[in-house]
Chains A and B, each alone.
Chain A
Amino acid sequence: MTNRLMYLEVKNLAKYFDSDYPIIKDLSFSIKKGEIISFLGESGSGKTTFLKCIAGLEKINSGSISLNSVCLNDKETFINPQDRKIGFVFQDYPLFPHLNLKDNITFNLSKKHSSNLDYILKLTSLKYLLNRYPHELSGGEQQRACIARALIREPELLLLDEPFSNLDTTIKESMREEIYKIIKETKTTTVLVTHDINDAMNISDRILIFKAGILQQYDDPVKMYCEPANCYCAEILGDLNKLFVNQETYYVRPEKVKLVNKKSNYKVFVEKCFFQGKEYKIKGRKDNEVWHFFSKEPLKEKADVYVDFGKKDLIYFDPVCKNFFK
């Protein structure tokens, strides 16, 4: 039985090319309509394969995928990719080289969706580039063209495979904002695959962390950052400071560490002070462990300072966690 509240439902999905080395071992999660979720994992962890399974470009080995209460792939069913109403934006922006921008966007487009052209062009700011060929477009323009091509068909689900990985840092942020705006305006349910934590944090309603073929945590960005399920999730989302209390190991996020003027229990030796515009990022050492925290004022290097934090900000993991993810 599919859950009617959930839009995309993935249950016990397994995928492998070689049965000894499964890429996806057992993956279950669901998405609500209109949500943007980020699928976060390391390079080569099987993120693109996962998207291809959803799009029908790869067949799954077990489990099921259903979209809008319609089963796309399970033991008995396989709906062809061309019949799934899923938009896919690939990592390398594969625009067809023999067609200009307009023909690329309207490629194999039904009459029903042709009227969306003006709206999509306006949304993606591509109106004046229609006659250009792919090689005459910048990376950002190619990417927007791919998104326009996917969105013009009003897909029930949009899949974005590392859409920002080929862009430089300056254009990346603006593109991220633009895409977020476009997706939210069209109310398109979206799965974004990325290995960049900033992309995931900035654009997603929920983040799914994937490692070793299984789901590690699936939550909203704030909860995930503050309450990571395990040490892998904690580390992938940002710096952690390690400390020992009563022979137990705890972690605290740099943002939660506050500089104090008076003496406290936590003395840190300042090694380096990095100017970051709004504030300074401090790299220090405590009990031989590297620590990071922030300061509004520059701190003197090679000197001790005192810091403090709330007890509720401490994060605890099982000691075997580290070994598990090695």
Chain B
Amino acid sequence: MEIRKHYFFIDNKRWVFSSLFLALILLSPIIILIISFFSGSKTTLFYLLDNVLIDYTLNTIYLILITSIFALILGVFPAWIISNYYFFGRKFFDIVLYLPLAIPSYIMGFTYIDILSYTGPIQSYLRDTSPYLAEIFNKDYLQIEVLGVLLGLALYPYVYTASRISFSLIGSNYVNISKNLGLSSFQTFYKVIIPLSRPAIFSGLFLVIMEVLNEYGAVKYFGVNTYTTGIFRSWFSFGDVNGAIQLACILLIIVLFFFVLDKLSIKNSKFYYQKNSEVQRMKLINWKKSLFMSSICSVPFLFGFLVPFFFILNNSIQTLSSTNFDKLIQLTGNTVYVSSISSVIIIFVALFFLFVERISKTKINFFTNNLISLGYALPGAIIGLGIILLFSKFSLVGSLFILIFAYIIRFLAVAKSPIKSSLDKHPNTIDDTGRNLGLNPLSLLRRLHLPINRFALISAFIVTFIDIMKELPITLILRPFNFDTLATQTYEFAVEEMIPLSATYSLVIITLGSLMLLILKNFIDKQINVS
């Protein structure tokens, strides 16, 4: 058959090339970092290999392992219980189990160390009531194991959210078939439900792992040497940019490994099951079981949110007289300002990339869309370093523009996720109909996709806003001179051992985050239509 070359051209060429150009800009800090790695001296690399690399690697793996185990336990079981059973407080737990996402992991770390410290409430109480027990509790809690548990408490909502949505979408047909084939409830759970939900659970766990790799504040505070703290130490303490670049590139390889593993896992276990084939009916249970299930769900909420929240609230009240409210208002303003502007830009950039992928249907757009999502897996320290290398010659470092640019790279994938889910729900015939009715690509975006996907855009704004508000390493590295946010101020007080003074700033982050999470939960409920 004759193939005539003239018939071949890319659909919506201008859109495709614009998206490729923008992707190149967003990837440029990483490209610069890799170029610097190959062009720089390798002496530091051998020094790192001989002295710190094994320590960094083992610590990072150990921390990931402990955090993952706790995040899985705290995320999967409550999600399964809430998706399947009526019990006392079910609706309440369904709302509040997301809330630990509002507490940045470094605040979780500072707060628990303060609670468990010699002068903290637990040891003080035990010394008054039971000196023997007080002796047992008098320990150094700045240990990697404690950090792992605390990070598990702070990060389990990623696993919980993914599992909760997956469990509610599976429907009851598979459960009924499995029971009909003789499997008990527990066997059904681990032989049918868990395998079906594996991609979702793994996606949640992937986010947890990436957050651990990105973690700086808590890890530094606990004195655990990981790659991220190593990059900061090489760079700021020893002034060794070359060493920082080499550590960043090794971390980049580790991140890429997990990224590919996540994609492969999803590819290999993506099941095209009939969603909501029949909505799972809640099971009624007796009061003993009900109490047991309430207890299971209350553990992550109690230790992941309630205890730190009330402790911070108490500290805030105690330090009320010494709180500088003018500064608090100014930092809240800074935080809301930079988070809002960045989030709005990020959701439009995310929508642009996804829209171009949708209308162009080219493999290159699919590939670049995946590549720019890598930003979320990159620790802030790597992005910060790459951007400084890129912009140091243009004297742009230290401007708000650069900070927002870094946020775009880091959080684009966060905004893309809800927008992509929403776009995928609408068949391609919606676009075809729009074009058939005379819309060009821009009006297709403006008149169809913006209104149709408005809930997803709002959801994307909320999740991005919360993440930027909590962000620490990038903000620490790239913020303009004299520009502080609630996160940087909290961190600075904490490293100066003035944790009570940081409480008010933490409280504002947590309150703002919790309010936005509650709004988000409302949107998620509307979208997944759970009971």
A residues sitting closer than 8 Å to B (CB atoms) are 14, 19, 22, 25, 52, 55-57, 59-62, 75-76, 78, 80-83, 86-88, 90-92, 94, 96-98, 107-108, 149, 153
B182 within 8 A of A: no
Q: How far is the CA of A62 from the CA of B452 in the complex (A)?
A: 36
B residues in contact with A75, CB < 8 Å:
4, 6-7
B residues in contact with A91, CB < 8 Å:
429
B residues in contact with A59, CB < 8 Å:
7, 9, 11
Q: How far is the CA of A25 from the CA of B2 in the complex (A)?
A: 10
Nearest-neighbor residue (CB-CB) of B5 within chain A: A75
Q: How far is the CA of A92 from the CA of B1 in the complex (A)?
A: 33
Q: Which of B60-68, B120-128, B395-403, B436-444 contacts A (4 or more CB under 8 A)?
A: B436-444
- Please state if A94 and B427 are interface contacts (CB–CB under 8 Å): yes
Known interface pairs A97-B452, A98-B452; A61-B438 also in contact (CB < 8 Å): no
B residues in contact with A90, CB < 8 Å:
429, 432-433
Partner of A60, one of B7, B433, B437, B440: B7
Q: How far is the CA of A207 from the CA of B437 in the complex (A)?
A: 27
A165 nearest CB across to chain B (Å): 13
Known interface pairs A61-B4, A98-B452; A108-B432 also in contact (CB < 8 Å): no
B residues in contact with A61, CB < 8 Å:
3-4, 7
Q: How far is the CA of A98 from the CA of B425 in the complex (A)?
A: 14
B residues sitting closer than 8 Å to A (CB atoms) are 1-4, 6-7, 9, 11, 426-427, 429-430, 432-433, 435-440, 443, 447-448, 451-452, 454
A residues in contact with B7, CB < 8 Å:
59-62, 75
Partner of A87, one of B1, B429, B435, B436: B436
A157 nearest CB across to chain B (Å): 11
- Please state if B4 and A82 are interface contacts (CB–CB under 8 Å): no
- Please state if A96 and B452 are interface contacts (CB–CB under 8 Å): yes
- Please state if A88 and B432 are interface contacts (CB–CB under 8 Å): yes
A residues in contact with B426, CB < 8 Å:
97
A residues in contact with B1, CB < 8 Å:
14, 19, 22, 25, 62
B residues in contact with A78, CB < 8 Å:
9
Q: How far is the CA of A98 from the CA of B434 in the complex (A)?
A: 13
Known interface pairs A59-B9, A94-B430; A88-B4 also in contact (CB < 8 Å): no
Known interface pairs A19-B3, A60-B7, A75-B7; A108-B429 also in contact (CB < 8 Å): no
- Please state if B437 and A149 are interface contacts (CB–CB under 8 Å): yes
A residues in contact with B454, CB < 8 Å:
98
B residues in contact with A83, CB < 8 Å:
438
Nearest-neighbor residue (CB-CB) of B447 within chain A: A108
- Please state if B451 and A98 are interface contacts (CB–CB under 8 Å): yes
Q: How far is the CA of A86 from the CA of B433 in the complex (A)?
A: 11
- Please state if A82 and B440 are interface contacts (CB–CB under 8 Å): yes
Residue from B6, B9, B11 whose CB has the most chain A CB atoms within 10 Å: B6
- Please state if B452 and A108 are interface contacts (CB–CB under 8 Å): no
Q: How far is the CA of A8 from the CA of B436 in the complex (A)?
A: 18
- Please state if B436 and A88 are interface contacts (CB–CB under 8 Å): yes
Q: How far is the CA of A61 from the CA of B8 in the complex (A)?
A: 7
- Please state if A62 and B439 are interface contacts (CB–CB under 8 Å): no
Q: Other CB < 8 Å A-B pairs besides A75-B7, A81-B435, A83-B438, 6 of them?
A: A59-B7, A62-B7, A88-B433, A88-B436, A97-B426, A98-B452
Nearest-neighbor residue (CB-CB) of B11 within chain A: A59
B340 nearest CB across to chain A (Å): 25
- Please state if A107 and B4 are interface contacts (CB–CB under 8 Å): no
Q: How far is the CA of A57 from the CA of B441 in the complex (A)?
A: 13
- Please state if B436 and A81 are interface contacts (CB–CB under 8 Å): yes
Q: How far is the CA of A51 from the CA of B432 in the complex (A)?
A: 11
Nearest-neighbor residue (CB-CB) of A61 within chain B: B7
A residues in contact with B3, CB < 8 Å:
19, 61-62
Q: How far is the CA of A87 from the CA of B81 in the complex (A)?
A: 51
A80 nearest CB across to chain B (Å): 8
- Please state if A108 and B439 are interface contacts (CB–CB under 8 Å): yes
Known interface pairs A22-B1, A75-B7, A96-B452; A57-B432 also in contact (CB < 8 Å): yes
A-B contacts, 26 of them at CB < 8 A, read A19-B1, A25-B1, A55-B432, A56-B435, A57-B435, A57-B436, A60-B7, A61-B3, A61-B4, A62-B1, A62-B3, A62-B7, A81-B432, A81-B435, A82-B438, A82-B440, A87-B436, A90-B429, A91-B429, A96-B433, A97-B426, A97-B452, A98-B452, A98-B454, A108-B437, A108-B447
A14 nearest CB across to chain B (Å): 6
B1 nearest CB across to chain A (Å): 6
Known interface pairs A52-B432, A94-B430; A108-B9 also in contact (CB < 8 Å): no
B residues in contact with A22, CB < 8 Å:
1
Known interface pairs A62-B3, A96-B448; A82-B429 also in contact (CB < 8 Å): no
- Please state if A55 and B436 are interface contacts (CB–CB under 8 Å): yes
Nearest-neighbor residue (CB-CB) of B436 within chain A: A88
B residues in contact with A25, CB < 8 Å:
1
Q: How far is the CA of A81 from the CA of B429 in the complex (A)?
A: 13
